Chain A
């Protein structure tokens, strides 16, 4: 297992290089930050200033050389220059990563727990009114644009705050800019209050698709011969559900969860934008607007690492949960 893990990590390195190289070419060709600099500033910068800017962001180098310099720089902790002066991309990235991780982790956890509960319930009560309702709500959530739901939820949060006269539900930012009483408890509740609405938003789509997945997996296992044999052995229904059906039905869900991480990161971008978090979402949108090549690359590199890591974790988890899979 350890040898397998090491091998997988080694194999992911060329994948990471190929992936970032393609992305780098795409990013470099997606806009011209130098022209942007020359035209958008008031007063218009001198030719020399434009040339200096181009040199500063390495826009005067050929793409392959730029990529090489970038990737070797990253290995030394240097993520390259930003179009914004005095911005340390590496520091910026990790500060924002911490903000986003909280949101993504909370949303995934809630989505997963609720999806298993509702999916299993739906499967056990197949074709009941509850099953139909859960299925319909699932379809509705899958069809709901995240940004639309987020705006709606934000409005609801504001309304609720007005009704209760509290400011518990934060609708702007990941925390209050300052706290009157700066104890750890206040800080904690403040964070929680700000986390609730964005988490619900981001959990929504994953919850819907994972519920449907759990239901289907559960139905398949419930119709399986080994569940029937377990019942024929005299095992009571509750134990058959947990020990035999759920235990096996959950195995493929780990893979599905891991593969969805890329789309969850996309959802986080939209969610953070609407709730005005200073996370990776804002970073991506700002970087794309200002055509900030190295900032975009930092974002995409981190997301690629996260996606690859999740795939690896899913595969390892699969081997732990399913004795039929052995990596040697």
Chain B
């Protein structure tokens, strides 16, 4: 920072080269973990999010109603028998919300994974090779970025027939460009670092440098972006399903459940509020987790002046 020159002149310390790297590496990970654990909102969010995931994926196996079978009770308010009530046809809303959460989460997570994978590799290659490769690859990414996500997804997914992975693929096909931009700029600065120079001097191949040196070191921004994409994913999917261009009955998603309940807000409010609350809960916890991760990876804000 300020007096590095003086500090260097006054206290020359020769680090032992063999130990230094691994020790530093471990403390770095520990530091990030510690900073994340300290972020209270992020920690609470992580717990809540994991509970929702467990509930959505294990719950259906334990619950005595299925999302696809209607019960003799219709239009019932929440009770012990039907914790989230039932709809006009007698479907158990608890089972439906569980199923809807599961579908929406599956889609959102697939979007995050898919677009992160494609975007990270795309951005890393563009940033690593620079020049004409970079220019072409980034122009393509820019092109994708000018497309209005919801509109294009709406057009393409009208052909999807409501299958959840197709919806995920369509949305991921439009969001990877964000990731590629972030990763590219990170890689552009990383490739000038000494450890890349060193790897090159040792004769490492381009692929090895990209996958073993550059991408792992860009992990911070990649992970932060992936979490944000889960939130973007779930909000886009539910919007699509709400407009009836996403998940189709008999399967269901949180967006579809809200759409089906929108005319019944006054008469059967539980059908409207509960799936909406789940969307908010998932997107909110994800955003807080992302925020905590960002702080943990980039603690610039806690910098104390000399």
Contacts and interface: CB of A to CB of B under 8 A. Distances in A.
Interface residues of B, number: 41
A313 B153 CA distance: 27
Contacts of B238: 145, 147
A223 to B, nearest CB: 9
Interface string A293-322: 000100110011001100100000000000
Contact of B148 (A27, A152, A265, A273): A265
A148 B276 contact: yes
A262 B149 contact: yes
Interface string A267-308: 101100110000000001100110100001001100110011
A289 B282 CA distance: 30
Given A140-B284, A142-B287, A289 B152 contact: no
B170 to A, nearest CB: 10
A143 interface: yes
B151 A303 contact: yes
B262 interface: yes
Interface stretch (A17-25, A191-199, A229-237): A17-25
A145 B146 contact: no
A144 B279 CA distance: 8
B258 A26 contact: no
A308 B158 contact: no
Is the contact region of chain A dominated by helix, strand, or loop, or is it mixed? helix
A285 B281 CA distance: 28
Interface residues of A, number: 44
A151 B281 CA distance: 18
B159 A139 contact: no
A19 B147 contact: yes
B258 A139 contact: no
Given A143-B231, A143-B284, A30 B159 contact: yes
A291 B158 contact: yes
Contact of B284 (A139, A289, A308, A311): A139
B216 to A, nearest CB: 27
B239 interface: yes
A289 B301 CA distance: 49
A209 to B, nearest CB: 11
A222 to B, nearest CB: 12
A266 B148 contact: yes
B288 A140 contact: no
A288 B154 contact: yes
B143 A148 contact: no
Given A142-B287, A270-B242, A308 B150 contact: no
A31 interface: yes
11 contacts: A143-B235, A143-B279, A145-B242, A145-B276, A147-B243, A151-B262, A152-B276, A263-B148, A263-B150, A284-B154, A291-B158
Interface of B: 142-143, 145-152, 154-156, 158-159, 231, 235, 238-239, 242-243, 245, 255, 258-259, 262, 265-266, 272, 276, 279-284, 286-288, 291, 301
Q: Give me the 8 closest cross-chain CB pairs, A-B, nearest first.
A: A266-B150, A143-B283, A143-B284, A148-B276, A262-B148, A147-B242, A151-B262, A307-B146
Given A144-B283, A266-B149, A308-B146, 16 more contacts: A15-B146, A26-B155, A139-B287, A145-B235, A145-B238, A145-B280, A147-B238, A148-B272, A148-B280, A151-B262, A263-B148, A265-B148, A270-B150, A285-B154, A300-B148, A304-B147
